[in-house]
Chain A
Amino acid sequence: MTKPLSSRDWLLSDLPTSRRQAKAGHFYRIWLAFKANKLAMVGLGIVALLLAAAILAPLIAPYNPVIGGDLRTERLLPPSLTHLMGTDEQARDILSRVLHGSRLTLLVVALVAVIATPVGLLVGTTAGYFGGWVDSALMRVTDVFLAFPRLVLALAFVAALGPGIENAIIAIAITSWPPYARLARAETLTIRDADFIAAIRLQGATSPRIIWGHVVPLCLSSVIVRVTLDMAGIILTAAGLGFLGLGAQPPQPEWGAMIASGRRFLIDFWWVATMPGIAIFIVSLGFNLLGDGLRDVLDPKSIK
């Protein structure tokens, strides 16, 4: 969220004099409400940290994530000052791998959100707005996709197209959009008969204009909250796929794959599997807290 450089008063003014000021003021009020929630700020902080780690990984990672050190002396070293998270069985620094792995995690999360959200919104609002056979047809399609468990679909994709992180992303995105469609449809149904929709229809607006300009903005809040809360699940699914060897392929430092390969060392060299596990836990928690905070703040009744 970018805050304009103007003073607080300009943003909170009750008499905005331009579209820009009105919009900025609106977002600023939302930001103030969000800021008041400490847990939500923690969530935002964690997500910001993920972003920073992903962007800066090549600069801040102390070692090469893919090429290990001396296989005789540097394998499975415990956490120390030289290797903050220890090394794995191929003498690779785990911290560097975790940092680079954050890029993969972010990639999965971002791409799934970017693919699934618009599809879900489009299908849901169209179905809800038009009703009738359009609604039935689209909802049956949604049901079909909803019926697939993510991992099973991912297996199918892998069997068809080969393993790899791109296919994992497609598989996850395909199974993620149906709940957003359902949610968007439910929201659309509540506003479809509202007077403001009737008013704009009476002024000659076409259905696409109404759906895009009037329906979608009102569905956006709950869909954003839902997507954010889902991200934890998406990360876990990607990690699960990685664990099964279906996601990112070695030597890519995907967190789930790291857990899988560190599994057999769990008793004596716990850090190999646990460090990426902790990373997954923290990032999932971060998205959950962020999602909860957004839900408290974007609930239309509490926006003032």
Chain B
Amino acid sequence: MYILDIEELAVTYTKDRQKIRALKDVSFQVKQGESYGIVGESGSGKSTVLRAICGLAPQSHGSILVGQKPLDASRDFDFYRQVQMVFQDPYASLHPRHTVDHVLSEPLTIHRFDDCEARVARALTDVGLGSDFRFRYPHQLSGGQRQRVAVARALILEPQILLLDEPTSALDASIQAEVLNLLDRLRAERGLTYVLVSHDLSVVAHMCERVMVMQHGLVVEELTRQDLQARRATKVYTKALLAATLGYRADEKEKPQ
């Protein structure tokens, strides 16, 4: 059954009396326990989809159903226990003046969990960070370590759906591999549902079973991992993205856009 059902979603920003349609008409469904990818370049609206699900973007049309229940205009406590997000920039997603301990205990305090101490300690070990890291400030952590803390923060409220907005784009290749492996392991252990956004087709193909390609706020097409591996794309744009993953090839003729 679909744990996430998006129909005709549109997001419009109003800036200086000008309307910017970040998302025009996006529809897709995600099954429980699935890892669903959204890939696109800058301006495609892929990150906006995640923000709209969280209530952080001005939705102008369409419906979002989580666990088959429609969402209110403002997200409530139940929503935050079901859906959480990991942000792209590890340098911007942690408060510079809060220790790791504060970052992890605050959500527990807000939702009035008990045994916070144990939960924080467990959250850290789950993401592969020892108790050494508990009282450090973000500037004392590397990019990969910060991203692990961000993942721990997202999982501490025990959500079912994790939205990942380019979680490894700002990380070095070797660290990216570690974080992707971590995400893989956590999903298997906890039966989580992922919606992973990236501009990197290789990352998305590795992590996700199904992929939606977006451009200019619209869905281009939806592919399975097998389609990608066989390079079976029907739309020109998807083919261009696939070709770009092969790196630069001097003998390639210029493709019309």
A: residues with CB less than 8 A from B are: 14-19, 21-22, 26, 194-196, 198-205, 209, 213-214, 217-218, 300, 303-304
Contacts and interface: CB of A to CB of B under 8 A. Distances in A.
A199 B93 contact: yes
B110 interface: yes
25 contacts: A14-B136, A19-B102, A22-B99, A22-B101, A26-B137, A194-B92, A195-B87, A195-B88, A195-B89, A196-B92, A196-B93, A198-B56, A199-B93, A199-B153, A200-B107, A202-B56, A202-B84, A203-B106, A203-B111, A204-B77, A204-B80, A217-B95, A218-B96, A218-B97, A304-B139
A214 to B, nearest CB: 6
Q: Which of B111, B135, B139 lies at the interface centre, i.e. has the most chain A CB atoms within 10 A of its CB?
A: B135
Interface in B140-171: 140, 150, 153, 157
Contacts of B51: 198
B107 A22 contact: no
B132 interface: yes
B77 A202 contact: no
B84 A195 contact: no
B94 interface: yes
Interface in B74-133: 75, 77, 80, 84-85, 87-89, 92-99, 101-102, 106-107, 110-111, 131-132
A19 B101 contact: yes
Contacts of B150: 199
A16 B136 contact: yes
Nearest to A18: B135
Interface of B: 51, 54, 56, 75, 77, 80, 84-85, 87-89, 92-99, 101-102, 106-107, 110-111, 131-132, 134-137, 139-140, 150, 153, 157
Contacts of A15: 132, 135-136
Contacts of A21: 135
Contact of A217 (B56, B89, B97, B157): B97
Contacts of A304: 139
A194 B138 CA distance: 15
Given A14-B140, A17-B135, A203 B107 contact: yes
B13 to A, nearest CB: 12
A204 B96 CA distance: 20
B98 to A, nearest CB: 8
Contacts of B132: 15
A203 B94 contact: no
Nearest to A200: B106
B89 to A, nearest CB: 6
A16 B95 contact: no
A194 B132 CA distance: 27
Contacts of B75: 202
Contacts of B56: 198, 201-202
Nearest to B138: A196
A202 B106 contact: no
B87 A303 contact: no
Q: Give the 5 A-B CB pairs with smallest separation, nearest first.
A: A16-B135, A22-B135, A195-B93, A203-B107, A195-B87
Contact of A204 (B99, B101, B110, B139): B110
Given A21-B135, A196-B92, A202 B99 contact: no
Contacts of B135: 15-19, 21-22
Given A15-B132, A199-B153, 4 more contacts: A16-B99, A22-B137, A203-B153, A205-B106
Contacts of A204: 77, 80, 107, 110-111
A20 B234 CA distance: 59
A8 B63 CA distance: 58
Given A16-B136, A18-B135, A214-B95, A198 B87 contact: yes
Contacts of A26: 137
Contacts of A195: 87-89, 92-93
A291 B228 CA distance: 60
B80 A19 contact: no
Nearest to B97: A217
Contacts of A14: 136, 140
B93 A202 contact: no
